[in-house]
Chain A
Amino acid sequence: MDGIVGFLSMGGYWPFVWPAYGAAALGLGGLLALSIRWLRANEAALARLERERPRRSVARSGPAP
């Protein structure tokens, strides 16, 4: 127990050490999450448009002879 408390207290410098790691985790994790969400949204929208495209061209060109 003392070991964990000692580790967390960081020699009394916990108000500086842990926020530094927190800021890094928040920045890197946040950007990663936003980027993955943006990538998925773009790829889903693209897939939707590409699914619609062949149907439109078939409809326009009419039935095959």
Chain B
Amino acid sequence: MLHRFANPARFLRIARWVVPWSASLGLVSGAAGLYLGLAGSPADYQQGDTVRIMYVHVPAAWMALAAYATMALASAVALIWKHPLADLIAKSTAPIGATFTAIALITGALWGQPTWGTWWVWDARLTSVLILLFLYVGYLALWNAFDDPTRAARAAAVLALVGVVNLPIIKFSVDWWNTLHQPASVLKIGGPTIHPAMLTPLLLMALAFLCYFITLLLLRVRGELAARKLRALQAARAEG
């Protein structure tokens, strides 16, 4: 199954077909989510209109975790099966995941100040998400630290796999330790405890962020494939 997509030409054909659909779905769900989130949903009875920050903060945080899981899975596939596209998929995921994480941290600080009275606290949830950002930055730094792309891919893949331990820590940090951050209210046993008027725009925005991730990932893998071919041609030209 995995090796069916190992052919770059086949991957590019699939990517060219998927990108317009994922981009269109992302634009439509994002427009609907923004309208409902900013104008069509009620203010929170305690937090007032600051609750509208949730519609960008939560999808960004979910996608920061999902992107890391994708990066780690692709790294494992690259290490174990030497899949020729897996390391490029992992590498392409990192800047997108880092951006999602940075957005989650910035919007979290902007939400924290009016609701908690502070921009930042060194509690388990916030600190573990900051570590996630450092893992992404470290992963990208490792790719740039080696001249040989094969060695760079291997070192970065090992870091990505070691960092997986941080994902359950982020998810369950609000249950395991005392924190200012609220516990899960959507992805929890027993179903969401959030009102449908707020859940609908939240899920629409999450869909838009997911479509953005898929679209950008496919575009970046296309760029990586072109860059790899370009390096090979330049090397052949230099030798000949």
Q: Which residues on A sit within 8 Å (CB–CB) of B219?
A: 35-36, 39
Q: Is B16 an interface residue (CB 8 A)?
A: no
- A2-38 interface bits toward B, Cβ cutoff 8 Å, 1 = contact, 0 = none: 0000010011110011011101100110011001101
With an 8 Å Cβ cutoff, the count of chain A residues facing the other chain is 27
Majority SS of interface residues in chain B?
Answer: helix
> How many pairs, one residue from A and one from B, have CB atoms within 8 Å of each other in the complex?
87
Q: Is B154 an interface residue (CB 8 A)?
A: no
Residues A42 and B220 in contact, CB atoms below 8 Å apart: no
A1 to B233, CA, bound (A): 61
Residues A39 and B223 in contact, CB atoms below 8 Å apart: yes
With an 8 Å Cβ cutoff, the count of chain B residues facing the other chain is 35
Residues in B lying within 8 Å of A, measured CB to CB? 38-39, 43, 48-50, 52-53, 56-57, 60, 95-96, 99, 102-103, 106-107, 110-111, 113-114, 212, 216, 219-220, 222-223, 226-227, 229-230, 233-234, 237
Supply 12 A–B pairs (Cβ within 8 Å), ascending by A: A11-B48, A11-B49, A13-B114, A17-B49, A17-B52, A20-B57, A20-B107, A28-B99, A31-B99, A32-B212, A35-B219, A46-B233
